[in-house]
Amino acid sequence: MPNVISGDSRRYFLVRARHPDELAQVLHHIEADSSIAIERRIRDSDGLETLVCSMYEAQAAQLRKRFAGSVIVEPDSPLTLS
């Protein structure tokens, strides 16, 4: 069961590992938690993947803490030109 703060709602987050081996560890963690959904996997020209995941902010914070320094977890948002 996810650690959800009252009023916390599901959002989309981008999850990207700095190295393919680290992504395997993150995938294992995410796949073990049925409340986190991988909505899309995007592979760049270097072969690194970015995951688009649906989860609670509390879960994103836990991923950031658990994989600090090796994984980037940030809210998905539209790109804008400024």
CB 11 within 8 A of CB 74: no
Could you please report the per-residue DSSP string of 24-55?
HHHHHHHHT-TTSEEEEEEE-TTS-EEEEEEE
List, edge to edge, every strand of the sheet that includes 10-17: 37-43, 49-56, 10-17, 71-75
Which CATH number characterizes residue 33's domain?
3.30.70
Instruction: Tell me the residue range of the domain where 15 lies.
Output: 10-73
The answer to whether residue 2 sits within a structural domain is no
The pLDDT, as a whole number, for residue 1 is 42
The pLDDT, as a whole number, for residue 47 is 82
The pLDDT, as a whole number, for residue 14 is 96
Q: Which two tokens stand for residue 65?
A: 């803490």
* Number of separate domains in the chain: 1
The answer to whether residue 4 sits within a structural domain is no
pLDDT along the chain (82 residues), means of 10: 60 92 91 94 90 95 93 90 77
The answer to whether residue 3 sits within a structural domain is no
Q: Is the pTM of this model over 0.75?
A: yes
